[in-house]
Amino acid sequence: MSREVSPPERSPEPLDALLARTFRMLRHTWSQHGADLGLAPHQGRALRIIGSEGPLRLSALAEQLHIAPRSATEVADALQERGLIERSPDPDDRRATLVSITSAGRDIAEQVATARRAQAEVFFGRLSPQDRSTLQRILSTLSEPGE
């Protein structure tokens, strides 16, 4: 007679690894909709930043995207080619250029934002309302500047 052997108990995954894995899963679902609209993930983020921050210099965009200024130029070039952003001279510095979102860019950004909200609703819909409220409270606490 054979004995069934139960699998060894797994130690809990560290919180930082669990949070990172969960965020990667969510980000993957978000990036799929951007891809459906022909946007690479960094282009979608750039469009969202430019739309919410107003006209800004490419150096500021690079800083917010955590990429090199040269890479931000490439992102802006691709978005401008599609008519989603436009460049204009910076009135405070003739050597600098500002990027701003176009109406077509706003339309695409809104489509991406709407899809992200819907996908997040499905993703977090697996949680009970009480668990969602608790998670929101916890994440809000963690996102506040610490001491």
* Sequential pLDDT tens for the chain (147 residues): 556 666 666 668 888 898 899 888 888 777 776 777 888 888 989 999 999 998 999 999 999 999 999 999 999 999 999 999 999 999 988 888 899 999 999 999 999 888 888 888 988 999 999 999 999 999 999 888 876
DSSP sequence for 60-123: HHHHHHTS-HHHHHHHHHHHHHTTSEEEEEETTEEEEEEEEE-HHHHHHHHHHHHHHHHHHHHH
In the chain, the amino acid numbered 128 is S
Give the pLDDT score at 38: 85
Give the pLDDT score at 130: 96
Give the pLDDT score at 15: 87
Give the pLDDT score at 23: 86
Query: In terms of residues, how long is the chain?
Result: 147
Residue with tokens 């405070």: 92
Give the pLDDT score at 76: 96
